[in-house]
Amino acid sequence: MIKEKIVKRYRMGILGASTVALLAAAALGSTAAQAQSPETRGANKTVSLHADLTELNGSKAFGTATVVVRNQKIKHVEVHASGLTPDAPHAQHIHFGKKALHECPTLAQDTSGNGRLNTVEGIPAYGPVVVSLTTTGDTSPASVVAVTRFPVSEDGSYDYSRDNIRITKVAGTGTAKEIAHAIRKGEGVVVIHGVDFNGNGEYDFSQGKSELDPTLPSEATDPAACGVLK
Ligand SMILES: [Cu+2]
């Protein structure tokens, strides 16, 4: 009789423990589905991503970016930025590289040792341009320095939004499908460019020519803010 009771208690104990385990598993499952970790959401076709943009090159710029990716299209993108060089155009892109770190660079990537990061020095961290976030017209990497079609910072701020940007194939980086998948996985990086290093109120050649386009000052293309789309 005593033995039976002990066995019964033992069985109940096992049952109790396994019930708790099942409930815990169910709770974990639903949390994972809601949170959509970067690993699991690559399988989904529509994903919303967010980036907190923080300064590069001591620009004091900051902001946020939101991107909704569906299949090979950016259904919607918003960038809100402040603290930028005022009344100047700011090139902005989504960067991604297969071999990149999918991170924002630091001054450790200043390979030239001149104390500032240019756009090319940031490529090991954020990769090449895959989408140009222009206000009108082409949005491919071909528009990387289309300065007349990027947002202008009224008093250092701007609010940008655009719908239905088709992601394109980028030679040496991937197909549209691969790039869209990488962005959904959390490997895309938003970069805003344009830093008035000498504070004279305009982009000038005080820091030399842009490595992207020698007709432009380096100040016009050096990275000012950056954030990883997660
Ligand atoms: Cu860029």
Ligand 1 centroid – CA 119 distance (Å)? 7
Q: What is the pLDDT of residues 89-148, one digit of tens each?
A: 999 999 999 999 999 999 999 999 999 999 999 999 999 999 999 999 999 999 999 999
Q: 126 CA distance to ligand 1 centroid (A)?
A: 9
Residues 139 and 60 in one domain: yes
Q: Which two tokens stand for residue 215?
A: 């007709």
Residues 57 and 8 in one domain: no
Quote the number of domains for the chain.
2
Does an H or E element contain 181, and which?
helix 176-184
Minimum mean pLDDT among 26-35, 180-189, 213-222: which range? 26-35
Contact 197, 219 (CB under 8 A): yes
Compute the distance from residue 151 Cα to the ligand 1 centre, in Å: 13
CATH code of 108's domain: 2.60.40
Answer yes or no: do 6 and 75 share one domain.
Answer: no
Do 81 and 169 lie in one domain? The reply is yes
Residue 6's pLDDT band, with cuts at 50, 70 and 90, is: very low
pLDDT tens-digit series, residues 51-96: 999 999 999 999 999 999 999 999 999 999 999 999 999 999 999 9
Average pLDDT over residues 167-190: 97
CA 127 to ligand 1 centroid distance, Å:
9
Both 55 and 11 in a single domain?
no
Domain of 68?
43-228
Same domain, 109 and 220: yes
> Which of the two residues, 163 and 33, has the higher pLDDT score?
163
For ligand 1, the distance from its centroid to the CA atom of residue 1, given in whole angstroms, is 78
Residue 3 clears pLDDT 80, i.e. is over it = no
The reply to whether 3 and 51 lie within a common domain is no
Same domain? 138 vs 81: yes
One domain, residues 139 and 218: yes
116 and 157 share one domain: yes
Residues 27, 127, single domain; the answer is no
Answer yes or no: is pLDDT of 17 > 60: no
C-alpha 125 – ligand 1 centre gap (Å): 12
Global pTM reads 0.82
| Three-state DSSP class for residue 75 | strand
HSE-CB for 23 with a 13 A CA cutoff = 6
Q: Check whether residue 63 and residue 27 sit in a common domain.
A: no
E-only strand ranges, 30-157: 46-55, 62-70, 73-82, 92-95, 129-132
Determine the pLDDT at residue 45. Answer: 84
Q: What spacing in Å lies between the alpha carbon of 96 and ligand 1's midpoint?
A: 10
Which letter, b or e, does each residue of 125-134 get, where b requires 16 or more Cβ atoms within 10 Å of its Cβ? Answer: bbbbbbbbbb
Q: How far is the CA of 192 from the centre of ligand 1 (A)?
A: 6
